Amino acid sequence: MESWRAMAACVLVLAPAVFPADEAGADTLSDVLDRGKLRCAVIEASPGFSSIDANGRRYGFDIDNCRTVAAAVLGDADAIEYVPINPNTAFTTLQSGGADVFPGGATWTFLRDTSLGLDYTGAYLYAGQGFVVRRASGVSSISELEGATICVAQGTTNEQNLADYFRARRMKYSIVTFADVERGLNAYLADRCDAFTTEVFSLAGRIVALRNPDEHRILGEVISKEPFSGLVRQGDPRWRDIVFWAFNSRVAAEEFGLTMSNVEGIRASTEDAEIRRFLGVEGGFGQQLGLSDEWAYQIVAQVGNYGEVFARHFEPLGLQRGLNALWRDGGLMIAMPYR
């Protein structure tokens, strides 16, 4: 008889659950505020983008992207719970709510934008797909890679670009696909492949970090455009806006001449109306996003402007601004206006 009652109770409990009244849309912002932490998806061990130092602290361009969003939303650039992912679980982790934002290494493409249930939040880094070969092989251009074995990371645009490029030129090649960039590169280093391909930023970062970078050569050409953008779940326009404007703020700060060290002083003294709106002195722009008014100030004060972030992580690797310079310096970085 006891089991009877237990069963009945079970059914009573389950019945309402089968017909849930819950049809509310996702609200990532309030989830993050409730949690007090931003869940940021990062790819582990990608020099320049995401590394861990000897004390277990993360640093890199992607990490600063996470910190940018956390500073804007929570006012604390370090209130982050990192969610380590592989390229081949990145999208599903985000789709399924395992992370609030994936700010690193995702190329903005038509199909991904339209079919994955994800939204891009604006390009923040322009790269291209390049190749590294051993100097000893004597290869100096991509066209000489006919018949070569090429290592690549799985489920990335690199895998498809490679196929498209070689097919269009009717060049034969064989491919070995690894679960992530790191394993692919290690396989190349161990002479499993004649070349390794990924976008040039992370390629350069990884080659520089080697013990014998001179033995390798990054070919001059690139075979694709790789505009990197943050990714969020589809169906939450406010959250997408927040991430977009958080990234935009770093570029704007560089245009305004704001840096980590001078932002506090300028906030107190500036008469420029746009900078005053930007830093939350007037206009109440933060509230429009559901954030505190000093959201952009926190980004600049805790993370820095775009140029500072770029210099911090990519200059030690010997990378130039190039396409990623401000528009007025001939690059593609342009901040949407704050008005």
Partner 1 sequence: MSGDTLTRRVRKNSAFWLQCLLGLALLALVVLVFRTTQSNLELLGVQSGFDFLWKKAGFSISQHLIPYTEDSPIWTALAVAILNTLLLAVFCVLLASILGLAVGIGRLSSNWLVARLSLAYLELFRNIPVLLQIFFWYYVALRALPSFESSIFITDYLVLNNRGLYFPFIEFGNGFSISPPVMGRFAYEGGFYLMPEFLALWIGLSLYNGSYISEIVRSGFQSVARGQWEAGAALGLKPAAVLRRVAFPQALRAILPPLTTVYMNMFKATSLAAAIAYPEIVSVFVGTVNNLAGRPVEVMAVTLAFYAGVSFLVAWLMGRWNKRITLRGQ
Partner 2 sequence: MGSELKTPSARQGLQCRVTTLGWLRQNLFSSWWNSAVSAVLLVLLAMLTARLFQWLIIDAQWAGSEPSACADTSSLCWPFIRARWRQFLYGLYPSEQVWRVNLGLAVGALLGVALAVRRMPARRWVAAFLLVAYPPLAWWLFRGGAGGLAPVETSLWGGFFLTLVVTGSVFWVSLLAGVLLALGRQSRLALVSQACTVWIEFWRAVPVLVLLFVVIIMLPLFLPANMEIDRLGRAMLAFAILMSTYLAEAVRGGLQSLSVGQFEAARALGLNWRQSRLYVVLPQALSVALPQITSNFIGLFKETTVLLVIGLFDLMGEVQRAASDPQWLGTGTTAAGYIFVAVFFWTACFSLSRASSRLERRMTRYRAAVYRP
Hey, is 7 helix, strand or coil? helix
Residue 178 as a binder of partner 2 (CB under 8 A): the answer is: no
Q: Are 253 and 299 in contact (CB under 8 A)?
A: yes
Max Cα–Cα distance, the chain, nearest Å:
82
Report the residue from 33, 59, 81, 159 that binds partner 2 according to the rule CB under 8 A: 81
Residue 30 as a binder of partner 2 (CB under 8 A): the answer is: no
Residues 6+ apart with CB under 8 A from 165: 142, 223, 224
Instruction: Specify the residue, 178 or 297, whose C-beta has the smaller distance to partner 1.
Output: 178
Residue 176 as a binder of partner 2 (CB under 8 A): the answer is: no
Residue 26 as a binder of partner 2 (CB under 8 A): the answer is: yes
Residue 155 as a binder of partner 2 (CB under 8 A): the answer is: no
Hey, is 230 helix, strand or coil? strand
Q: Are 257 and 270 in contact (CB under 8 A)?
A: no
- Smallest gap, in angstroms, from Cβ of residue 283 to partner 2? 34
What's the token pair of residue 308?
């500072």
- Smallest gap, in angstroms, from Cβ of residue 211 to partner 2? 6
Report the residue from 206, 240, 250, 267 that binds partner 2 according to the rule CB under 8 A: 206
- In 276-333, DSSP assigns E strands to none
* Start-to-end Cα distance in the chain: 70
Q: Could you list the residues that contact partner 1 (CB under 8 A)?
A: 1, 3-4, 7-8, 10-11, 14-15, 17-18, 20, 23, 25-26, 87-88, 90-92, 95-96, 111-112, 115-117, 137, 146-149, 151, 154-156, 159-160, 162-164, 167, 173-179, 183-184, 187, 190-192, 194, 233-235
Hey, is 312 helix, strand or coil? helix
- Smallest gap, in angstroms, from Cβ of residue 50 to partner 2? 13
Residue 233 as a binder of partner 2 (CB under 8 A): the answer is: no
Residue 257 as a binder of partner 2 (CB under 8 A): the answer is: no
What's the token pair of residue 80?
């982050």
Strands of the sheet with 174-178, listed across from one edge: 174-178, 149-153, 195-199, 129-134, 216-218
Length of the chain: 339
- The alpha carbon of 230 is separated from its chain's Cα centroid by a whole number of angstroms, namely 5
Residue 262 as a binder of partner 2 (CB under 8 A): the answer is: no
Part in contact with partner 2 (CB under 8 A); list of ranges 92-100, 149-157, 220-228, 312-320? 92-100
Residues engaged in binding partner 2 (CB under 8 A): 20, 22, 26, 44-45, 47, 52, 55-56, 81-86, 89, 92-93, 95-98, 179, 182-183, 186, 189-190, 206, 209-211
